[in-house]
Amino acid sequence: MLKDPVSFLIGLAIVAVFAVVIIILAKREGNSLKDILAKVPEDRKNQLKQSIFVPSDKKNLHFSDGLVADVVEKGDKVEITLLFYVERLDDYFFRKVKISQSECKKKNIIKLNFIKCYMKYDKEMEYYDFKSIA
């Protein structure tokens, strides 16, 4: 039957550990999204669902609105949580972006306001993903 059952068990243990790590990471991100969405008013979520993609002057990039779900100052940097909506999946996703405090003030980035973002269409995932703040 099995020539080396010890090797089989070691391989099985490695695969099991890898699967558990993937499950924990996926659950953590899912919980983070739920936490973010819980803090966003329904009217803002509905506005986000109406966002459109407009071609930009940069190659393969489009403009769209991102909702500033959170702004956290970290020293001389600011961590911004941007929320987006994927119509095809009927779901939200978020991206965390770090910028300087001066850029944050210059672009008037305020929690629960919309900002223009560059988005790029991901052919494999079949939706537009965040690339940078416009």
Q: Give yes or no for residue 23 having a pLDDT over 70.
A: no
What is the domain partition of the chain in residue ranges?
A: 1-38, 41-133
Rounded Cα distance between 100 and 126, Å, is 31
Count how many Cα atoms sit within 13 Å of the Cα of residue 2 in the half-sphere of its side chain: 6
The CATH label, of 2.40.50, 3.40.50, 1.20.120, 1.10.10, for the domain at 41-133 is: 2.40.50
Q: Is the pLDDT of residue 31 over 90?
A: no
Q: Decide if pLDDT at 4 tops 80.
A: no
pLDDT value at 7 more than 80: no
- CB neighbours (10 Å) of residue 61? 19
Q: pLDDT: is 121 or 83 the higher one?
A: 83
Write down the pLDDT at residue 52.
Answer: 86
- pLDDT value for 2: 59
CA dist., res. 10 & res. 1, Å (int): 17
pLDDT (tens digit, 9 = 90+) per residue, 46-63? 999 998 888 888 888 888
